[in-house]
Structure 1
């Protein structure tokens, strides 16, 4: 039996748009991911990430939308990078507006990669396949 390259890798999709979460989730399933969680905003995501770390079942990859209610992506990214337990979590920032401000803000906070919506399956696949998971 062939081992899928992403089997056992946990992914969290953080986006306030249900449709965007659904589309990205289906693309990731097509790449072989089987453990995909979702969060509607940064506050919910932070709770899920903290719980995953505490139960020693951490996420390997987070897709993080920049603009969301309650807690946006930049705020969550800043908190993740400031925490020694989540500092190295691989984060791909997502946005519908590829403004220089969003890109620079994400890079300053230590984002690993950046994608612009709408999602392109080839772009998602190339970004994910380039990750060197620990």
Structure 2
């Protein structure tokens, strides 16, 4: 699993969902958790953290948000040299195959479908950790 000092950014336009995810992360031992209410506000936070030498280690973002959607935030992160290798999980109510394929093509680390519980989020995070730690050389290219 990710180290306990991993820096998380939770991006969701719904404050209650941000609180739920933050609570689950806290229960899993992660206390370095920041929040943003949409992708448009999250992107400069991620970029500033990366350039300051204190980058985020994981993003958990809602898919459907005003301003900038989660999928657009994911694409923007993958296009940024400083952010492209960062683990990125989408949270969505959309379980349609076309959305899953779009997210996979964009480079999402994993996704979780609402509603979900703490055990589901933990299992998904473990999968992401295994993928990202297993192939660091492949991810860097």
Cα deviation, 1:40-97, whole Å, max 9, x if unaligned, reads 0001110110110121100010001111000011111111111111110100111012
Q: Name stretches of at least 5 consecutive residues in structure 2 with no aligned partner.
A: 134-141
Q: Name stretches of at least 5 consecutive residues in structure 1 with no aligned partner.
A: none
- Give the Cα–Cα distance (whole angstroms) in 2 for the partners of residues 47 and 5 of structure 1: 24
Whether 2:72 is the aligned partner of 1:75: answer yes
- Give the Cα–Cα distance (whole angstroms) in 1 for the partners of residues 64 and 84 of structure 2: 21
TM-score (norm 1): 0.91
Asked if the contact 2:63/2:91 (under 8 Å) is kept, the reply is: yes
RMSD across aligned C-alpha pairs, in angstroms? 1.6
- Give the Cα–Cα distance (whole angstroms) in 2 for the partners of residues 5 and 62 of structure 1: 13
3-state SS of 2:83 partner: coil
- Give the Cα–Cα distance (whole angstroms) in 2 for the partners of residues 109 and 97 of structure 1: 16
Greater fraction helix = 2
Task: Note the C-alpha offset of 1:13.
Answer: 0.5
1:93 aligned residue (90, 94, 108): 90
Asked if the contact 2:89/2:112 (under 8 Å) is kept, the reply is: yes
TM-score (norm 2): 0.87
- Give the Cα–Cα distance (whole angstroms) in 2 for the partners of residues 56 and 81 of structure 1: 18
Asked if the contact 1:6/1:31 (under 8 Å) is kept, the reply is: no
Asked if the contact 2:51/2:82 (under 8 Å) is kept, the reply is: no
Task: Note the C-alpha offset of 1:99.
Answer: 1.6
In the alignment of these two chains, the number of paired residues is 131
1:112 aligned residue (99, 102, 109): 109
3-state SS of 1:24 partner: helix
